[in-house]
Structure 1
């Protein structure tokens, strides 16, 4: 062992210690080591920065953006809603469907992001089904980790191992190379979680007090007596309203009709626009109306102006809660609205929302609200597009936001983009599978298409990228180069071969799996893959065997981070909502890691022969 190798190993040991105690944070440690390693003379600055030019780093960043597209368009949320509808209160069915859906979604986006999306969904399911949240949170984290065993792009360690194969002159893994191992492991995981769920405690379901105390749209609909006031009308191509501005029609004053929102077709999708005085109506527009006056003859109105009434499936646009929302506002002492009527204030033109209810001294005021002077302390219920409701909170001098409904947490930014997000994801996967273009190009094309169809914008795209993960990978790659330059990789491979070199190759795979899993207890699975991949390939070369079973074993072991709550961010996220202890992960995770080890050793050589 030479002096240079001793220096590198010392720095690596220091890195592992800092990772284990999380001081400083992991990406900062990676930056420190990326700076220090060139100072030792083992590598130069270009080697230290090699990760910044690695196409896989760009690919990982692009995949974060694609995952954000699935979130912003509501695709991930709709899968959660499907889970609620299909499973009901059956705990076994819930666990089965939850793990299948989470694994499926996590195959194409960040597993950490998937867990973050599904935690509130699972808590809501647990409350409604009267199931302890601890019975569902562990299956959630296990499924998210297994999703990393499904496709090439499912998790960063897969891409790290793939990149190491390419650097060593081999063909990388195909997109679905991991799937033959992920599916049987998922099946075993579902059966395992159905058996061990009884050991996950029987504490009362976790309750989010803040969420529980917030009103729901259905409560406001009853409280303000809004039922039967809602209507949806489509403007036909023969309507005389086409080309008319809303202030010309003046429906509020002439007929007691308020237009809450307008749904308008744009390109291949539709969008909800805020109705203001200058808005011109177009053929095909769908008007969301609040009709207060009992004297309005809606069939006659439709006949005279060539309008068609559309059906509603919920009370007061409840079936359109992704597009139209509500909020309760209070008139403060500083408000310039005091003494003015809603008509006087041009409320809809000024704030983009419509006043649909009024409470005075905690009592809902019935009848026409437009001509009633507003008073200090009045509570207004407003309805309109969610973006208008959220921006109204900026007008704190005139209006104070008292309550936002619980449903506001479930609103997605671009619901009309869901079909495009699904189609773009299918296109990206298709390009990766067929190899028409490089994986990174396929992902970048997907990102550009998501922007073109407004599934993401630039701010959400940048914010979606988990920069800490990227810096961690970039900062750990120089260690791999340093260990290779100083003979550390060969030394580790020789030590491994001395221990099990004459044994059956499956025992060598098992040893590599165990070492990778143990190292993953102390550092991130991405960093583990960076360090173990070159060692595994060196062992394969020394034995004269195919590198693919050894590389695949490292990738699968890196995703098998079931044993402690700090093995993966996925586990850390579910600790609090599941009310888990450290030992809960040990007693559930260690046996299942052994199951994954056995499955890996049996199945990998069948798909990738030695």
Structure 2
């Protein structure tokens, strides 16, 4: 080993430590890696920035936009409603249809987004069937992970491995190369879950409602009716002409202003508020406030007149004000901060009006409550701001959009055009008349031409941290190759298990990939393990395809802990699972996936 290799390995360990500790955002770590490689002279500037010219980066970004088109046209939510109708009152049918639908939709769009869409569907169905929500949440999450094994474009690790093959001048995988293995694992997953569901915790669902949640369900679940109040601003109110930031109503009275009704063209409309919003005479404030003594003092000192707020208020205002749930994820920068410290209204444009933790709604003043992993927050704001929350999925994931959102789908009338663009993209990827990235860009342009997405929503839909993470981690493969690190790791694997044949090597690669994936993202894992798999195949004189395929499948097999994947974190709260629930159910299934890979991959992709 030379000094340069020691430096690269030290940098790799430092990056992995940062990923595990979550002290620095993953995309920031990736950028620091690029800088470190260039300043140390390990890589040239062109080599360190080569990831920005990788076609797969453009492809992944384009697929985010295609998925957004399916959401904006309401297709994703309509699929959820169709699922409810098909399943009827049968838990078995519901589990099968749920996993099939999630896997199918996740094969062409973000699995995290798909799972977020189906969580409220599964919760409400669980309530209707009087079964614990936990019996559907984990199957839902597992199906989301398995969806990444169905097509080339289903998840970033598949495209990373494909890119690594092409970097070694080896023809890449085709669109459906993953499908036989994904289908086998999906069928095994459905059968496994039909048996394993009896070992899931039997905790009853917290929410009510038929079909998808309604806004009334969310109001009732978070006890918002007893706290939300309407107050009219009198002509002599000292609030008139002053901004919300200047008034400091939360500090003085514990009053959280979540909206303002204002006269416009002979009718009252709901206006969103921010720190610079000024109040006017005649405004009706919608306020979250639970202390009755403070309410009386606030009305008296601020010259406000209490008004009636009926239970169906939010539903009747569904075209102007929206409610949604968001769940904090493992690497969120909000963990440990209070709502006030996070500046929710200033940063995200929405107000937090409820926090649910361990299945219980927190009472009291929420603005000073430190946020924890697994917390579910109820936010209120106008639909345009709520629709932007998915772009902050480095901090939280958008969970439940109520049934009223279908009325607000801005491109609902263009649903058929979105399906046409999606079908054309898949057809071009399958028949291969143009490169996959061009097929995806054509689909994006069609989505824009048919007004399924606009430029603003398209750019917001792209998860830039994921792209930066891939770009920043790709130089590791080149640096390890230049310094002999890949050869060192490959020789180590060969010395340990190489004498036992390529099938045992598949076991070693799968286990190593799955273990690394417990601590860092599956994308970063694929970047690190791809060149190792190809190098092992070349050293053993066998085809690289089974080795590369095994690593790609193992990177998506993040079933063992609730923090192995954002999908698992997403179902943790709604299913009310513990860490041990995932270990008890996830570890045996991971072993089952290992067996499928070891026997099926060499059969269809011979050594």
TM-score, normalisation: structure 2: 0.71
Instruction: Report the alpha carbon displacement of residue 207 of structure 1 after superposing the two structures with TM.
Output: 2.7
Instruction: Report the alpha carbon displacement of residue 574 of structure 1 after superposing the two structures with TM.
Output: 1.0
Q: Which residue of 1 aligns with 2:232?
A: 332
Instruction: Report the alpha carbon displacement of residue 384 of structure 1 after superposing the two structures with TM.
Output: 13
Instruction: Report the alpha carbon displacement of residue 573 of structure 1 after superposing the two structures with TM.
Output: 1.0
Specify whether residues 345 and 508 from structure 1 end up closer, same or farther in structure 2 by C-alpha distance, changes over 3 A only.
Answer: closer
CA displacement 1:23-45 (0-9 Å, x = unmatched):
11211211211211222221122
Q: 2:533 aligns with which of 531, 536, 539?
A: 536
The answer (yes or no) to whether the contact 1:206–1:578 under 8 Å persists in 2 is no
Match of 1:445, SS state, is helix
- Is 1:502 matched with 2:503? no
- Is 1:553 matched with 2:555? no
Bigger mean CA deviation after superposition, 82-91 or 174-183: 82-91
CA displacement 1:104-147 (0-9 Å, x = unmatched):
00000011111111112222222222221111111011001100
Alignment partners' CA distance in 2, 1:130 and 1:555:
38
Q: Which residue of 2 aligns with 1:105?
A: 105
CA displacement 1:504-536 (0-9 Å, x = unmatched):
211111111111111111111111110111011
Specify whether residues 445 and 527 from structure 1 end up closer, same or farther in structure 2 by C-alpha distance, changes over 3 A only.
Answer: same
The answer (yes or no) to whether the contact 2:517–2:555 under 8 Å persists in 1 is yes
- Mark the runs of 5 or more structure 2 residues left unpaired by the alignment: 221-227, 236-262, 271-304, 323-348, 350-379, 384-400
Alignment partners' CA distance in 1, 2:162 and 2:567:
22
Q: Which residue of 1 aligns with 2:404?
A: 408
Q: Which residue of 2 aligns with 1:72?
A: 72
Instruction: Report the alpha carbon displacement of residue 408 of structure 1 after superposing the two structures with TM.
Output: 2.6
The answer (yes or no) to whether the contact 1:146–1:560 under 8 Å persists in 2 is yes
- Is 1:474 matched with 2:475? no
Q: 1:520 aligns with which of 514, 517, 520?
A: 517
Q: Which residue of 1 aligns with 2:22?
A: 22
- Is 1:461 matched with 2:392? no
The answer (yes or no) to whether the contact 1:215–1:403 under 8 Å persists in 2 is no
- The correspondence of residues 2-151 of structure 1 with structure 2, limited to 5 A, is 2-151=2-151
Q: Which residue of 1 aligns with 2:216?
A: 215
Q: Which residue of 2 aligns with 1:425?
A: 422
Instruction: Report the alpha carbon displacement of residue 502 of structure 1 after superposing the two structures with TM.
Output: 1.8
Instruction: Report the alpha carbon displacement of residue 67 of structure 1 after superposing the two structures with TM.
Output: 0.5
Specify whether residues 606 and 212 from structure 1 end up closer, same or farther in structure 2 by C-alpha distance, changes over 3 A only.
Answer: closer
Alignment partners' CA distance in 2, 1:188 and 1:379:
51
Specify whether residues 376 and 488 from structure 1 end up closer, same or farther in structure 2 by C-alpha distance, changes over 3 A only.
Answer: closer
- Is 1:441 matched with 2:442? no
CA displacement 1:402-457 (0-9 Å, x = unmatched):
99995434442221111111111000001111111111111011111101111111
Q: Which residue of 1 aligns with 2:179?
A: 179
- The correspondence of residues 175-254 of structure 1 with structure 2, limited to 5 A, is 175-207=175-207, 214-215=215-216
The answer (yes or no) to whether the contact 1:27–1:472 under 8 Å persists in 2 is yes
The answer (yes or no) to whether the contact 1:56–1:159 under 8 Å persists in 2 is yes
Runs ≥4 residues deviating over 4 A: 211-214, 328-331, 375-388, 401-406
- Is 1:599 matched with 2:600? no
The answer (yes or no) to whether the contact 2:215–2:404 under 8 Å persists in 1 is no
Bigger mean CA deviation after superposition, 414-423 or 527-536: 414-423
Alignment partners' CA distance in 1, 2:185 and 2:464:
30
Specify whether residues 576 and 171 from structure 1 end up closer, same or farther in structure 2 by C-alpha distance, changes over 3 A only.
Answer: same
CA displacement 1:89-109 (0-9 Å, x = unmatched):
321111111000000000000
Specify whether residues 345 and 435 from structure 1 end up closer, same or farther in structure 2 by C-alpha distance, changes over 3 A only.
Answer: closer
Q: Which residue of 1 aligns with 2:320?
A: 389
Alignment partners' CA distance in 2, 1:379 and 1:147:
44
Specify whether residues 216 and 598 from structure 1 end up closer, same or farther in structure 2 by C-alpha distance, changes over 3 A only.
Answer: closer
Match of 1:332, SS state, is strand
CA displacement 1:260-309 (0-9 Å, x = unmatched):
xxxxxxxxxxxxxxxxxxxxxxxxxxxxxxxxxxxxxxxxxxxxxxxxxx
Q: Which residue of 1 aligns with 2:286?
A: none
Specify whether residues 35 and 383 from structure 1 end up closer, same or farther in structure 2 by C-alpha distance, changes over 3 A only.
Answer: closer
Bigger mean CA deviation after superposition, 5-14 or 401-410: 401-410
Alignment partners' CA distance in 1, 2:539 and 2:381:
70
Aligned residues: 463
The answer (yes or no) to whether the contact 2:127–2:208 under 8 Å persists in 1 is no
RMSD: 3.2
CA displacement 1:178-210 (0-9 Å, x = unmatched):
00100011000001011111111111113389x
The answer (yes or no) to whether the contact 1:214–1:403 under 8 Å persists in 2 is no
Instruction: Report the alpha carbon displacement of residue 390 of structure 1 after superposing the two structures with TM.
Output: 4.9
Which structure has the larger Rg? 1
Q: Which residue of 1 aligns with 2:576?
A: 579
The answer (yes or no) to whether the contact 1:330–1:402 under 8 Å persists in 2 is no
Alignment partners' CA distance in 2, 1:572 and 1:430:
34
The answer (yes or no) to whether the contact 1:62–1:447 under 8 Å persists in 2 is yes
Match of 2:189, SS state, is helix
- Mark the runs of 5 or more structure 1 residues left unpaired by the alignment: 220-327, 336-343, 353-374, 395-400
CA displacement 1:314-336 (0-9 Å, x = unmatched):
xxxxxxxxxxxxxx99793459x
Alignment partners' CA distance in 2, 1:559 and 1:598:
15
Match of 2:404, SS state, is helix
Q: 2:606 aligns with which of 591, 601, 609?
A: 609
The answer (yes or no) to whether the contact 2:103–2:147 under 8 Å persists in 1 is yes
Match of 1:215, SS state, is helix
The answer (yes or no) to whether the contact 1:122–1:136 under 8 Å persists in 2 is yes
Instruction: Report the alpha carbon displacement of residue 388 of structure 1 after superposing the two structures with TM.
Output: 6.1
Alignment partners' CA distance in 2, 1:88 and 1:118:
16
